[in-house]
Structure 1
Amino acid sequence: MDFENILIKQKENLAVLTINRPSKLNALNKVTIEELHTAFKSLNEDSDVKVIIITGSGEKAFVAGADISEFANFNVEEGTELARKGQEILFDFVQNLGTPVIAAVNGFALGGGLELAMAAHFRVASTNAKMGLPEVSLGVIPGYGGTQRLPQLVGKGKAMEMIMTAGMISAEEAKDCGLVNYVVEQEELLPLCEKLASKITRNSSVAISAAIKAINANYTNCVNGYSVEIEQFGVSFGTEDFKEGTTAFLEKRKPNF
């Protein structure tokens, strides 16, 4: 696949997807969002890929935000469509992807950048990372799921503070409030993400995909997460991975998923 603004590197069962617009601090424009959708969809359909790491090029930014120049003159209808389409083809799409996605936050993750990181299944940050949703300073609100995912991760009060002040928090602050799982020096960021990915790839991709569905159901309106868990638990019994996993356990050997 040839892309204008993203790079993909595959190594065994891992794919590293890099947003490559360093001159714009990797800001998300329309083309980049569409390319990310295509890349995530293709990698999710590749049975060899068991984990995806998403990061930004350079040392300054994961994604510094959306490309404001593209929508500064939008009207109400255009703004509504911008948020609707963006959530549909990228942010909600990533959250519900069956393949685990780890966000390696290397530097600024602001606005749409933080929203993309939050759509990933979990996050690891470099010590120089700064995170925030500054949209209200522009007279708008987060439109790519930020008002929903941030409270789920850090709690309502902290989310209200971050969104209303439009301020940034450090990587350590992000870790303290549950926004990221780990904070490491920048040179250790991808190696740690790869180490975590390696642990994930040892397990059943089928079961992990089912677990993602069950976990996400708890955060979906009008959906009973417990019922989805029961359903996915039952479905697991009909898979080859269940047969292999339980047989390997009884035979005291490692499973071959």
Structure 2
Amino acid sequence: MQSDETDHFRLSGDIALVTGASRGIGQAIAFALAKAGAHVVLNARDPGQLEASRSELAAQGLSVSAIAFDVTDPSAVAAAVAEIVERHGGLDIAVGNAGQSLRKPVGQFDRAEISRLMDVNLGAALVLAQAVAPVMEARGGGRILLTGSMLGQIARPNNALYSATKAGLAGLARALAVDLGPRGIRCNVVAPGAVRTAMTETAALDPAVDAFVKQRTPLGRWATPQDVAAAALFLVSPASAFVTGQVLFVDGGMSAQA
């Protein structure tokens, strides 16, 4: 008997790590993966915010735990992965969602700002892949998902550094797909457009910004974190078993038009 197609989106028995999971898109991805049957380890730097997020998801009957560490610290990442393996027996899914934005004219970025944003948004993704790949290989394979952005494909004023880091994630995912594919590990990018979260709420309440987003987006609305999470679930589930090295835009068509 053939399995139900919904089984292709089940993650029963999987262990997943989601960085930047204390709020917004990261928390929504963690919820979606846990709802699909995975045990999800939430990560953020702030232990207080992290525990609040863990408690919120656990209260809904989901299997979650938490571990605080800085994604830019290779030793901390390696220690966290080792702890996850010790506690749960392995790691099947790693979602590199932690990131930062810094808007200013291109000539005003100083060297420290450049290094910091490159480290958080791009370098940390490679550090995560380095840490999880041997563990995933020992399990017979795994899935790495990186949170990119529509702004890695198109440009907006005062976002040169952020756009560069997110474009870099697309290249990194392709490289990881080639390098890690023979070891049974897939790597993809989910690239949101304009997403309405607590961080963007002020902008969304500005009538001019709201009108611009809705006019510029063929589907005529902001994305929700759940829109992004649904795409993320697809990319780490058996439903995408032959998909690797790809960028999936969740932007309502904004990047498709001139």
The TM-score, its normalising length taken from structure 1, stands at 0.31
The TM-score, its normalising length taken from structure 2, stands at 0.31
Higher relative contact order (Cα pairs below 8 Å, separated by 6+ residues): 2
Report which of the two structures shows the higher radius of gyration computed on alpha carbons. Answer: 1
